[in-house]
Chain A
């Protein structure tokens, strides 16, 4: 028994604090070892030969010139794939290497391993590749006509005869956005000497990679270990495999470690993008502004391989109306096979495109009714107890739609710009625009999205929490891509165990079960939920073993007396608990797309203020305000980080970010021409966090990191419309569009 003089330690960095990231200093000082910094003894370098045409038959492929080069150890093609020859997260329809046909710009044809990166690149270029170009399919209407449909989501709800008196119709388009994470793809494959392989690659979900990799490499599951990676950003780009299978094949063939790193241009070819879309909408309302009926047809460009497209179009279709009540709905969402680059997951996962269209429709409807646009939204707001307009699902949990709209409206508008500082004017230092030439516009949008996986997917996360003499360790396979999960897991376990010293160990697939994907705004609730439950069990066991009623860093206490130190507690059998955590179950849609398909929802409202030079089409976003439903703010600073970053990405899609396609060919695969907002483009953000605790999320938290992107895009577009009076039904809005030209 320990003495009575021990002081009660205070808990630092628990839930609700803006705790610092454990890796923050290493990242800011450049000491953090990212994927691309890894190396191994005797390592070879990989390179990929790609075909930069949208559609072609391979009539000649000869690798001998590459193999003949000094320093080249292997050159592999489709025929060399040892196991299953196709990959993909949901649908495995993407050939690991091109299978006689090129189906999209940048498709990988062969991979090389050589002594150094330069030799590898030169060898890849030396492969003889003869192509017979074929007509690419890139028109969405044509793809629909030809039946090139990966999935059609059909939603029918309410009375097909019901009609509203006030009608607005519109067609809308969104461009293809690149996730453009800061870290390019990189990876390392390490043969284990016993026929197996360890793989580090850019990922958001190691276990789903593991399933594909063991199949494609033709290995038993135990022979492949997929390691968590230290990667700079993801945004969906890492949900499907990029280079992992290739380095795995090369490592197995050569028996040596193989590293591969993409440069930015190859990265544009090597990862999935946000679906471009064409949408047709009809909103009908009564004279008071109550929505009566929404009809929509959505076409999404799924690109050359299906991958996750079926789930993306489901989201687009189910969130086609937005956070509004509407009794009668008809949606047809199609995702189409084309010869454009493959599209897949990207922040918002299909909710962004319809949000752009539907929010523009709400503004048009408000204008038609002579109503304030926020008033119209408040009138139709969907909240707890209502039914999702598309699927009819009862909204069981808190959904503070009115609260986010009202909180947003309460944020004061920014002052008019009375400065001649060019950086505060459209055109910036280009000095295009005098202050007198500027018109200010204000636009609003409400964003709405599901949390976690839907449509009856068995969605779970595992975690193990272990008590040690100096704190606790959380084990998980969840992926930290920079979003801050590592901090959140620490905070949840700190608060639960009442101890400051908590560390997260990111384990490979051989050590722990799946945590599910770092996507769908999931991990705070899922990996966090698993860690919370495991920590609770650890705490309960510790209390029970020592017979106490309180646990902290010092040990177990009762009535202010320390009964056992952590060291003493850990001296016996280990105190550790492993949890497989599931969120409440969801259903499959019926033939009308009806059912309780989602576990939960979140909502946000954006207001954009934009200064527009209407003669020249230049603009400057002055401020973006947001009120967002977060359940409970576990770490306010990280929330603000996600909000600002998300807004930058949503604003980017509104005014500049687009993969420019010319009949399937990407015209701008560099940061010289694929423009992302710079710090001078990014306006100040005013954010209000609306806290209505989730009944099932850890400490009431909800996932939140997609929504700041979802409704930023339509809010910025609406503000430009307000300033110019032009319809602007396509994003990104271009200067030529603002001045009314082609």
Chain B
């Protein structure tokens, strides 16, 4: 196994061009688990930690190697909330946004935030850059639109990021747990509402009927919220696995989305 440690973005892209099938290593909190379980045996690893450009965080752009520990301290409330739920302090110090995108787990905790904000994923290779909306990047469990020779540079957020945003996550214990359901709700000033649900489908998904129901309604009534909850439960596509059941996930998705919306409305 060879490990390449480029010092800047050009170096990383050159290394990728030379080894298009290399595994990218950010925090390693997913990759090393796979290596340890012998699910992956990369010939070449490109370590991204020294690439300063990937760690940038400026208006509207969050670099791929921004860690959860940093997100916890920044001012985007839902991002801070989701970051706080990830793993343990050690995992949050190492794990990154780009890694969550690279892994593309249906339960990835950063993904509902990106979906709720309609974020774009910025990809770079030696040939140039391209942007993909989140739902064209995330294609299925563990499956993304990333091409050989390409890396995730970061994500671009829309021009207006409303302050009313909230995240919630259900897991079977109080910490260090994979989401049974997770959820991010964003409420724009004009009442437009975005509801993204994770762990209830092959990729994070948006509950668009539910979104439309409450769009523009300044103070949704309890009856409307009941209907909102019902629609979210209807729109999700959960499965039964060893972590939970489809029936519970469907129910919980509705309750969680409703509570998260309520939290947003009161922000």
Contacts and interface: CB of A to CB of B under 8 A. Distances in A.
A656 B248 CA distance: 16
A660 B259 CA distance: 31
A620 B81 CA distance: 19
B24 to A, nearest CB: 22
Interface stretch (B145-153, B175-183, B186-194, B214-222): B175-183
Most chain B CB neighbours (cut-off 10 Å) among A121, A427, A680, A739 = A427
B172 A675 contact: yes
A284 interface: no
A325 to B, nearest CB: 39
Given A616-B252, A735-B248, A739-B248, A430 B242 contact: no
Contacts of A615: 255
A705 B172 CA distance: 27
A36 B175 CA distance: 29
Interface string A208-220: 0000000000000
Given A430-B168, A432-B259, A668-B242, A742 B247 contact: yes
B5 interface: no
A637 interface: no
Contacts of B244: 734-736
A662 B241 CA distance: 10
A431 interface: yes
Interface in B25-42: 33, 36-38
Given A673-B242, A739-B251, A742-B248, A427 B170 contact: yes
Nearest to B246: A742
Interface in A382-437: 423, 427-434, 437
User: What is the interface residue range for chain A against chain B?
Assistant: 35 or more
A263 B167 CA distance: 35
Contact of B175 (A433, A617, A672, A680): A680
Contacts of A734: 172, 244, 248
A678 interface: yes
Given A430-B85, A431-B81, A660-B242, A736 B171 contact: no
B75 interface: no
B170 A680 contact: no
Contacts of A620: 174
Interface residues of B, number: 36
Contact of A680 (B168, B174, B248): B174
Contact of A667 (B166, B169, B179, B242): B242
A265 B242 contact: no
A670 B166 CA distance: 31
B19 interface: no
B7 to A, nearest CB: 30
A678 B248 contact: no
Nearest to B260: A431
A677 interface: yes
B84 interface: yes
A399 B231 CA distance: 58
Interface string B246-267: 0110011001100100010000
A295 to B, nearest CB: 33
A678 B174 CA distance: 7
B58 interface: no
Contact of B248 (A265, A430, A432, A741): A741
A428 B171 CA distance: 9
A103 B203 CA distance: 37
Interface in A611-653: 615-618, 620
A670 B33 CA distance: 11
Contacts of B172: 655-656, 675, 734-735
A681 interface: yes
Contacts of B252: 616-617, 735, 739
B245 A741 contact: yes
Interface in B1-54: 33, 36-38
Contacts of B259: 432-434, 437
A265 B38 CA distance: 12
B71 to A, nearest CB: 13
Given A431-B167, A616-B256, A675 B245 contact: no
B170 A735 contact: yes
A430 B247 contact: no
Contacts of B168: 427, 430-432
A428 B174 contact: yes
A253 to B, nearest CB: 26
B176 A616 contact: no
Given A432-B259, A615-B255, A681 B173 contact: yes
B251 A430 contact: no
A656 B242 CA distance: 12
A675 B263 CA distance: 29
A447 B245 CA distance: 32
A356 to B, nearest CB: 19
Contacts of A675: 172-173, 177
A680 B84 CA distance: 14
A660 B38 CA distance: 22
B189 to A, nearest CB: 23
Central interface residue in B182, B241, B256, by most chain A CB within 10 Å? B256
Contact of A432 (B38, B169, B241, B251): B169
B171 A617 contact: no
B36 A263 contact: yes
A662 B242 contact: yes
Nearest to B179: A430
A681 B174 CA distance: 6
Nearest to A660: B242
A736 B37 contact: no
A660 B170 CA distance: 19
A403 B252 CA distance: 43
Interface of B: 33, 36-38, 81, 84-85, 166-180, 182, 241-245, 247-248, 251-252, 255-256, 259, 263
10 contacts: A265-B37, A428-B173, A428-B174, A429-B174, A431-B263, A617-B252, A667-B242, A673-B243, A675-B172, A681-B174
Given A427-B170, A433-B259, A655-B172, 13 more contacts: A430-B85, A431-B166, A432-B169, A616-B252, A656-B173, A670-B37, A673-B243, A681-B174, A734-B244, A734-B248, A739-B248, A741-B247, A741-B248
Q: Which 10 A-B pairs have the closest CB atoms?
A: A428-B174, A736-B248, A667-B242, A680-B174, A430-B169, A660-B242, A680-B175, A681-B174, A741-B247, A431-B168
